[in-house]
């Protein structure tokens, strides 16, 4: 059993949705946390650029600034550096001397990946190769890679364990699966201890990734229709950020997590219609429309978390009925604050 306290933990791409929340928790637990992030992907630089036509730009910039302010207040060392620059990245790792690297740097959106494969490869696969090579050079004790449930492709029978065959569909899933193979290859060639994490359908505070739950809430707040792809029966293993963070802490703490692959989700799939019903409980006027499903969206379902439960004591506590209302409440408070202060345009632009 490893103690989080006083361990030097580096989060690449750590200013993102998962990363900043993880950094705050690890810092609270006594770790010496550092972040390296170029802020290019789904972050301040992308949202600041007028090249991108982003609705509600000011609102999202407000959320992103809230992230950075929370990191500053927690005294998390944050280095703004493009991880594709091998030598600059290496110098920072030499300065930090991490025991653990949690690799989060990636394009984290399947639709965006399919539209821009080159950028996705550059920001996902190139950054991973740099991180692995540098981790090997500095003999990092533990390398944690974030994969995705998308690597399974269509779930046979609506259920997947870590032993389920992986047949990803589209650029995003293929690169995530390729990343897993690269991580394992570095272990085979150089002995780098690793853990591969496969999350699913994350939601939670300070996310700007336009995930399905976020889109549902924002549309309800604006009084626009909620769009559901397909007939509403498609199922996802919706996972509240707090469950994922608890799982990552257990991965770092437990020695038997090394050289393993774990699904870290809630462990029970729910339909899109069920999520929409929770929205309508909180926004009675919200209406729903159904649109055709994208051909590159796999049929998914439940990811078994029994391996993580048995090996590292993972115990998710946030079913959709508990976590999603928490997220809705946070969003309502944020929008109310922006309306009262005029600091973040949302509904009125």
Q: Which two tokens stand for residue 281?
A: 């409980």
Task: Encode pLDDT of 257-268 as tens digits.
Answer: 999 999 999 999
Q: Evaluate if residue 294 carries a pLDDT over 60.
A: yes
- Cα 329 from Cα 300, distance rounded (Å): 28
pLDDT more than 90, % of the chain: 74
What's the chain's average pLDDT? 92
Alpha carbon 160 to its chain centroid, in Å, reads 19
Domain that holds residue 62: 8-202+239-269+300-318
Domain presence at residue 209: no
Domain presence at residue 222: no
Reported confidence tier of residue 347, pLDDT bands at 50, 70, 90: very low
Domain presence at residue 24: yes
- Cα 190 from Cα 321, distance rounded (Å): 45
Domain presence at residue 29: yes
| 184-208 exposure pattern, b = at least 16 Cβ within 10 A, e = fewer | bebbeeeebbbbbbbbbbbbbbbbb
Domain presence at residue 327: no
Name the domain count of the chain: 1
Domain presence at residue 46: yes
Question: How many C-beta neighbours within 10 Å does residue 232 have?
Answer: 15
Task: State the Cα torsion 291-296-301-307 to the nearest 10°.
Answer: -160
Window from 15-19, 24-28, 208-212, 281-285 with minimum mean pLDDT: 208-212
Domain presence at residue 334: no
Q: Evaluate if residue 339 carries a pLDDT over 80.
A: no
Where residue 29 sits, what CATH number does that domain have?
3.40.50.720
Closest CA to 75 of 35, 105, 38: 35
Task: Encode pLDDT of 96-143 as tens digits.
Answer: 999 999 999 988 777 777 778 878 888 889 999 999 999 999 999 999
Average pLDDT over residues 34-56: 84
**Are 236 and 201 in contact, with CB atoms under 8 Å apart?**
yes
Q: Evaluate if residue 349 carries a pLDDT over 50.
A: no
SS3 199: coil
Question: How many C-beta neighbours within 10 Å does residue 17 have?
Answer: 24
> Locate tokens 């929370």: which residue?
70
Domain presence at residue 254: yes
> Which pLDDT value is given to residue 343?
53
Task: State the Cα torsion 266-269-272-277 to the nearest 10°.
Answer: -70
- Cα 295 from Cα 59, distance rounded (Å): 31
Residues in Cβ contact with 236 at an 8 Å cutoff, skipping those fewer than 6 apart: 200, 201, 212, 269, 270, 272, 300, 301
């Amino acid at each position: 059993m490893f103690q989080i306290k006083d361990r030097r933990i580096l989060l690449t791409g750590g200013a993102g949705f998962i990363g900043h929340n993880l950094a705050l928790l690890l810092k609270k637990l006594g770790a010496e946390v550092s972040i390296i992030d170029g802020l290019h992907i789904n972050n301040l630089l992308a949202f600041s650029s007028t090249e991108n036509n982003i609705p509600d730009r000011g609102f999202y910039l407000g959320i992103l600034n809230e992230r950075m302010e929370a990191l500053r207040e927690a005294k998390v060392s944050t280095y703004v550096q493009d991880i594709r620059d091998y030598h600059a990245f290496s110098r920072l790792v030499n300065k930090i001397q991490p025991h653990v690297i949690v690799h989060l740097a990636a394009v984290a959106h399947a639709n965006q990946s399919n539209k821009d494969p080159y950028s996705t490869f550059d920001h996902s696969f190139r950054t991973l190769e740099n991180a692995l090579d540098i981790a090997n050079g500095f003999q990092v004790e533990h390398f944690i890679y974030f994969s995705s449930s998308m690597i399974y492709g269509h779930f046979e029978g609506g259920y997947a364990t870590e032993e389920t065959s992986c047949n990803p569909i589209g650029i995003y899933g293929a690169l995530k699966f390729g990343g897993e193979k690269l991580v394992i290859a570095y272990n085979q060639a150089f002995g780098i201890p690793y853990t591969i994490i496969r999350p699913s359908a994350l939601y939670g505070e300070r996310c700007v990734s336009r995930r399905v739950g976020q889109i549902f809430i924002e549309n309800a707040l604006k009084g626009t229709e909620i769009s559901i792809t397909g007939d509403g029966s498609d199922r996802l293993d919706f996972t509240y950020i707090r469950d994922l963070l608890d799982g990552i802490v257990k991965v770092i703490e437990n020695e038997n997590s090394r050289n393993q692959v774990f699904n870290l989700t809630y462990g029970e799939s729910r339909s899109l219609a069920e999520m929409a019903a929770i929205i309508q409980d909180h926004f009675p006027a919200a209406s729903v429309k159904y649109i055709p499903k994208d051909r590159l969206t796999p049929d998914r379902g439940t990811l078994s978390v029994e391996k993580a439960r048995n090996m590292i004591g993972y115990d998710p506590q946030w079913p959709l009925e508990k976590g999603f209302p928490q997220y809705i409440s946070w969003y309502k408070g944020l929008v109310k604050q922006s309306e009262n202060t005029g600091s973040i345009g949302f509904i009125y632009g």
